[in-house]
Amino acid sequence: MSPSKDKEKLDAIRQIGEAISSDLILKDILGLIVQVTAKVMNSNICSLMLIDEQKKELVLKATQSIDQAYNNKPPVKLGEGIAGKVALENKPRQILDVTTDPLYKNKEIAKKCGLRSLLCVPLRAHGKVIGVINNYTLDPHKFSRSEIATLIAIASQAGLVISNTNLKTEVNKAKEELQDRKTIEKAKWLIVQQHKISEAEAFKLMQRESMNKRKPLKEIAEAVILVAEMNKE
């Protein structure tokens, strides 16, 4: 690999790595990954698919393609097609011509988009496969060891970024849920003190109000707290 290509590879890995400490949401991070990867790999289409654990399939989550035929491609079951086998076997695969390869699932889409060669590598995080990155060219192309190593390195960094972003999202969600419970508890005690009723009765009162007004329980609790604070003034 030439020095300029080495620099591009390192810059790509750095850009993706910096997303860990950014305020970008997952959708934007996935978009960044495919854009950077397409540039470094000279891809005509680069796409990223993540595993839906419940359905056991790969779902297209990001691509820099503007071709709707490709962007609307259906999910792929684990173990099926090229991407499904790469995810299940945890091994990269390259295909010289996706329009004739017996394993490739979406030949008609590939023909519409003019796609020919494919390099697909697994996305891993903490030893677990979470998806794949697909790298397509329009002309027949045998990917070199250097190109394969580059995509593997990018995928390795991308997998960690995606995993950490999901973890941050889960932590933030847990914090929000904890804060909601605290708000509901505070409102419940205010009702208990005001109406001299039990905690269970106070909670049922808020639940009934939530159902009648078709508003989340948290909003009812916030209203109770606001009224109590206004009455203090």
pLDDT of 96 > 70? The answer is yes
Q: Which residue has the tokens 């009723």?
A: 197
Domains 3-170 and 172-232 share a fold: no
For residues 113-139, average pLDDT: 93
- Which stretches of 36-180 are assigned E, i.e. beta strand? 45-52, 57-63, 76-77, 93-95, 117-125, 128-137
The neighbour count for residue 72, using CB atoms within 10 Å, is 9
Those residues whose C-beta lies under 8 Å from the C-beta of residue 116, and which sit 6 or more positions away, are 96, 97, 98, 99, 110, 136, 137, 138, 139, 140, 141
- Please report the pLDDT score of residue 159 as a whole number: 82
Residue 114 pLDDT class (50, 70, 90 cuts)? very high
d(CA 30, CA 131): 12
DSSP character for 51? E
- Using CB atoms within 10 A of its CB, is residue 145 exposed (0-12), middle (13-18) or buried (19+)? exposed
Please, what is the average pLDDT of the chain?
85
The SS3 assignment for 77 reads strand
Task: Specify the CATH number of the domain 3-170.
Answer: 3.30.450.40
Those residues whose C-beta lies under 8 Å from the C-beta of residue 102, and which sit 6 or more positions away, are none
- Please report the pLDDT score of residue 29 as a whole number: 81
pLDDT tens track for 9-52? 666 666 666 655 556 677 888 888 888 888 888 889 999 999 99
Q: What does residue 51 show for φ and ψ, rounded to 5 degrees?
A: -80, 130
**Residue pair 163/130 in contact by the 8 Å Cβ criterion:** yes
For residues 208-217, average pLDDT: 89
Rounded to an integer, what is the distance from CA 176 to the centroid of its chain? 20
Q: What share of the chain is helix, strand, coil (3-state, %, to 5)?
A: 60, 15, 25
For residues 111-138, average pLDDT: 92
- How is the beta sheet containing 117-125 ordered, strand by strand? 76-77, 57-63, 45-52, 128-137, 117-125, 93-95
- Please report the pLDDT score of residue 1 as a whole number: 52
pLDDT tens track for 131-187? 999 999 999 999 999 899 989 988 888 888 787 665 555 556 667 777 888 888 898
d(CA 38, CA 178): 41
Q: Which of these, 212, 219, 58, 38, lies nearest to 123 by C-alpha position?
A: 58
pLDDT tens track for 54-72? 999 999 999 988 888 898 8
User: In the chain, where are the structural domains located?
Assistant: 3-170, 172-232
- Using CB atoms within 10 A of its CB, is residue 4 exposed (0-12), middle (13-18) or buried (19+)? exposed
Domain 172-232 -> CATH class:
mainly alpha
**Amino acid at position 56, single letter:** K
Residue 75 pLDDT class (50, 70, 90 cuts)? very high
pLDDT of 228 > 80? The answer is yes
- Please report the pLDDT score of residue 160 as a whole number: 80
- The dihedral through the CA atoms of 38, 41, 47, 49 has a sign that is negative
pLDDT of 95 > 80? The answer is yes
- Please report the pLDDT score of residue 48 as a whole number: 93
The pTM for the full model equals 0.67
- Please report the pLDDT score of residue 229 as a whole number: 82
